[in-house]
Amino acid sequence: MTTNDVSVSLVFCDLLDEVDGEIAQVSGDGAYDKYKCYEKARQRGAKVTIPPRKNAVIGQHGNCKCSPHPRDENLRRIRIVGRKNGNVNVVTIDAPYLKPLCLGSK
């Protein structure tokens, strides 16, 4: 939990920095749906399971030369299937799995 003057992504990054060794997975609520959080988890080799916020928009569109971001792919799938379908309400970035870390509550 953070106050209004503290960035959730900053707290997320600080928490991951405090964990020694490898991290298998990080999970959090929609407050952690920030590209900085995904990038920090990727740097640590962790799988990310964070539902996109209800007002989330795609960051990298199909005409971008970059490879698709997993969060954006999830948003595209939600547009097709819908948010209520239990199979598409989290974002996953594949990485080695060793130890889970859960952030936030919902």
Indicate whether 42 belongs to any domain. yes
pLDDT tens sequence across 44-69: 998 888 888 888 888 877 667 777 77
pLDDT for the residue numbered 104: 46
Indicate whether 60 belongs to any domain. yes
Indicate whether 3 belongs to any domain. no
Indicate whether 38 belongs to any domain. yes
pLDDT tens sequence across 80-101: 887 765 544 344 444 433 334 4
Under a CB-based contact definition with an 8 Å cutoff, are residues 58 and 44 in contact? no
**Taking the complete model, does pTM exceed 0.75, yes or no?**
no
Rounded to an integer, what distance in angstroms lies between the CA atom of residue 21 and that of residue 17?
10
Q: Which domain holds residue 40?
A: 8-102
- What's the rounded mean pLDDT across residues 7-35? 87
Indicate whether 1 belongs to any domain. no
- In the chain, how many domains are there? 1
